[in-house]
């Protein structure tokens, strides 16, 4: 067999995908910056809950499924964004807003929400 006169063209390797892998970390960092820049983390306090307790109870009484879904979303976001004091606040609010029986069940189920939030928080750096 004879060798060709010219070498075979080399194909450049595909991009490493680093920007795509860093996207979850960038989104998480941007959300954290947004929360702290607007001061939303300061609304997670016992004072805020105390001032809005009656409105919170009325909302839960009138919209239990929506209130439960909102609670789950907030709980996951608080854990994923590592907001200071937020975990204790959201756990306490469940009993206050949903009542003792429902609140304790929801707080027990909050371990699942906490795991989902921690997964979101830990999955971003692991993919980077």
Task: Tell me the pLDDT band of 88, cut-offs 50, 70 and 90.
Answer: confident
Specify if 35 maps to a domain. Answer: yes
Tokens standing for residue 7: 């070498």
- Domains held by the chain: number: 1
Span 17-43, average pLDDT:
79
| Spatial contact of 32 and 82, defined as CB atoms under 8 Å apart | yes
Q: How many angstroms separate the CA atoms of 85 and 49, rounded?
A: 13
- Quote the domain boundaries for residue 48: 19-127
The mean pLDDT value for 101-115 works out to 71
What is the reported pLDDT for 39? 84
37-84 pLDDT per residue, tens: 888 777 777 888 889 889 989 999 999 889 888 888 888 777 777 777
Give me the torsion for CA of 35, 37, 38, 43, rounded to 10°: 60
**73 occurs within a structural domain:** yes
Q: What's residue 54's pLDDT?
A: 92
Residue 28's nearest CA partner among 128, 107, 96 is 128
Residue 25 lies in a domain: yes
Tell me whether residue 49 is in a domain: yes
Rounded-to-integer distance, Cα 127 and Cα 120, Å: 11
């Amino acid at each position: 067999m004879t060798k060709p006169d010219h070498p075979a063209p080399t194909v450049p390797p595909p991009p490493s995908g680093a920007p795509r892998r860093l996207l979850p970390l960038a989104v998480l960092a941007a959300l954290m910056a947004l929360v702290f820049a607007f001061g939303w983390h300061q609304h997670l306090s016992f004072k805020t809950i105390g001032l809005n307790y009656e409105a919170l109870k009325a909302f839960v009484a009138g919209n239990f499924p929506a209130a439960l879904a909102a609670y789950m979303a907030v709980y996951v976001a608080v854990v994923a964004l590592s907001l200071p004091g937020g975990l204790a606040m959201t756990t306490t609010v469940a009993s206050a807003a949903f009542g003792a029986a429902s609140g304790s069940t929801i707080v027990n189920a909050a371990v699942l929400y906490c795991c989902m939030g921690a997964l979101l928080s830990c999955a971003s750096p692991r993919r980077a």
